[in-house]
């Protein structure tokens, strides 16, 4: 077991602020790595120390492993927390940490490799006796893809083996679309991941996206903290998340959560992670989709219903401590919803809207949490992800959580930049969402077709 007294936060935005506050709660110093564009960020203001790691482009700052390791060593940090995005799921960072005597607050490099490659992850799920979506092994060219497609059947998905974040995915509805789809998906995968390998999965039209929060320690203990429903998406990007999933019963909930634990145990997973599943609403079956080997954007809703600080637990586990909780300790109480607020203009095709925030007045009430790095006068830079806040509500049931969310969105005052708040307000008022009659394609195929902005 190693004592962690100082952490380098190797990220920016709201997750950097979240990690800093978790460190403070443990009595751990937080040093934040900032690019030149983030010198005046909230993370820089509230950290114990901020160290500049390079110019604004992430390839020269937040994605530079050597610079981050130098920053950690130079500031006397014992550990590095990657947050999500950037280098969080790149095995090179935990390997560099190990080589330099630093603790990586996250899973092992081997865990990241196993689950970062989607084909290898499917193999792990099969070995764990967890259902997987019907599909293929690697398809190296168009001919192989066509052959596999005949076996799997249409509609299907062409997916990047090294994929993530919704990139490198193409829906193919018939054989005539295969050639163009294969070329498009492989090109996007090559550009996004430097890896153009593809495989095929059966496309499930009426699917929900369900994920299970797990955490494991070095002693071999793995527990889950319940599931989240992340079905409300646009172009594979999540918009709204909630827990528990409104459309599964207790038996199915137990099955999917136990399946996630089995996958994590099979690879001796350490630290915080999320196992994702597709739930076929037509035949009431779930299938393993992938595993995210990091803290999720939507982790706060799990924290709201369980009372567990996932970031703090991840820091303790990284230092070698066993889990402070057993499965029996986890009690999921009430319902929580999260809305992601982006600096975008929905009516203009979700055009990014960087710029100076003139007014920033978040709502306040019981059962409401705002995770953000923004403040009045802050300049939202154009170089990074457009997420500026997460609004999280917790109620005794879904109706109460939704009522609180409507109040929060109606009373969130922001000016100087465009935001997705008006879009989300409309989304949450639709009868389909209120009744939870949605799937992963609902926003694009139903909501937009009713005349809303695309």
pLDDT tens-digit readout, 415-450: 999 999 999 999 999 999 999 999 999 999 999 887
Helix 310-318 and helix 13-26, axial crossing angle in degrees, nearest 10: 70
Residue 179 has pLDDT above 90, yes or no: no
Q: What is the pLDDT of residue 454?
A: 45
Q: How far apart are CA 388 and CA 390, in angstroms?
A: 7
Peptide bond into 155 cis (omega under 30): yes
Nearest one of 329, 151, 378, 339 to 234, comparing CA atoms: 339
Assigned token pair, 403: 């009522």
Q: How far apart are CA 362 and CA 380, in angstroms?
A: 16
Residue 451 has pLDDT above 60, yes or no: no
Active site positions, annotated: 294
pLDDT tens-digit readout, 224-279: 999 999 999 998 899 999 999 999 999 999 999 999 999 999 999 999 999 999 99
Q: How far apart are CA 86 and CA 389, in angstroms?
A: 18
- What is the DSSP pairing of strand 237-243 with strand 335-342? antiparallel
Nearest one of 1, 80, 78 to 33, comparing CA atoms: 80
pLDDT tens-digit readout, 66-96: 999 999 999 999 999 999 999 999 999 999 9
Residue 13 has pLDDT above 80, yes or no: yes
From residue 172, alpha-carbon distances to 6, 146, 160, 176, 292 in Å are: 49, 11, 14, 9, 25
Q: Which domains does the chain have, with CATH numbers?
A: 6-105 (3.40.50.20), 134-202 (3.30.1490.20), 207-450 (3.30.470.20)
Q: How far apart are CA 112 and CA 293, in angstroms?
A: 6
Please answer whether residues 433 and 223 qualify as being in contact, where contact means their C-beta atoms are separated by less than 8 angstroms.
no
pTM over 0.85: yes
């Amino acid at each position: 077991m190693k004592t962690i007294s100082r952490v380098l936060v190797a990220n920016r935005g709201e997750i950097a602020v979240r990690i800093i506050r978790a460190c403070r709660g443990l009595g751990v110093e937080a040093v934040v790595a900032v690019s030149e564009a983030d010198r005046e960020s909230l993370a820089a203001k509230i950290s114990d120390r901020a160290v500049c790691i390079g110019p604004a482009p992430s390839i020269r700052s937040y994605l530079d492993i050597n610079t981050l390791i130098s920053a950690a060593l130079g500031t006397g940090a014992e550990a590095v927390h990657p947050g999500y995005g950037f280098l969080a799921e790149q095995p090179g960072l935990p390997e560099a940490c190990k080589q330099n005597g630093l603790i990586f607050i996250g899973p092992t490099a081997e865990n990241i490799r196993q689950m970062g490659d989607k084909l290898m992850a499917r193999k792990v799920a099969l070995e764990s006796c967890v259902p997987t979506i019907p599909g293929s092994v690697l398809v190296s060219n168009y001919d192989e893809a066509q052959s596999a497609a005949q076996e799997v059947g249409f509609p299907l998905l062409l997916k990047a083996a090294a994929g993530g974040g919704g990139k490198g995915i193409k829906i193919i509805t018939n054989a005539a679309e295969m050639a163009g789809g294969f070329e498009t998906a492989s090109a996007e995968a090559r550009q996004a991941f430097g890896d153009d390998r593809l495989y095929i999965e059966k496309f499930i039209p009426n699917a929900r996206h369900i994920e299970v929060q797990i955490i494991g320690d070095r002693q071999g203990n793995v527990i889950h903290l319940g599931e989240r429903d992340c079905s409300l998406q646009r172009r594979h990007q999540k918009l709204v998340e909630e827990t528990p999933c409104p459309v599964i019963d207790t038996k199915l909930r137990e099955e999917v959560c136990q399946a996630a634990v089995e996958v994590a145990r099979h690879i001796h997973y350490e630290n915080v992670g999320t196992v994702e599943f597709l739930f076929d609403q037509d035949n009431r079956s779930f299938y393993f989709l992938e595993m995210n080997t990091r803290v999720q954007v939507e982790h706060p809703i799990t924290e709201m219903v369980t009372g567990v600080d996932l970031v703090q637990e991840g820091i303790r586990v990284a230092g070698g401590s066993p889990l402070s909780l057993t499965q029996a300790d986890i009690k999921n109480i009430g319902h929580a919803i999260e809305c992601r607020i982006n600096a975008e203009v929905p009516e203009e095709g979700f055009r990014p809207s960087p710029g100076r925030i003139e007014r920033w007045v978040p709502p306040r009430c019981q059962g409401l949490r705002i995770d953000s790095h923004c403040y009045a006068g802050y300049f939202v830079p154009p170089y990074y992800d457009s997420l500026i806040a997460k609004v999280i509500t917790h109620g005794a049931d879904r109706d109460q959580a939704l009522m609180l969310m409507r109040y929060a969105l109606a009373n969130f005052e922001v000016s100087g930049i465009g935001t997705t708040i008006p879009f989300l307000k409309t989304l949450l008022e639709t009868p389909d969402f209120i009744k939870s009659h949605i799937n992963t394609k609902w926003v694009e195929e139903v909501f937009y077709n009713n005349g809303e902005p695309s």
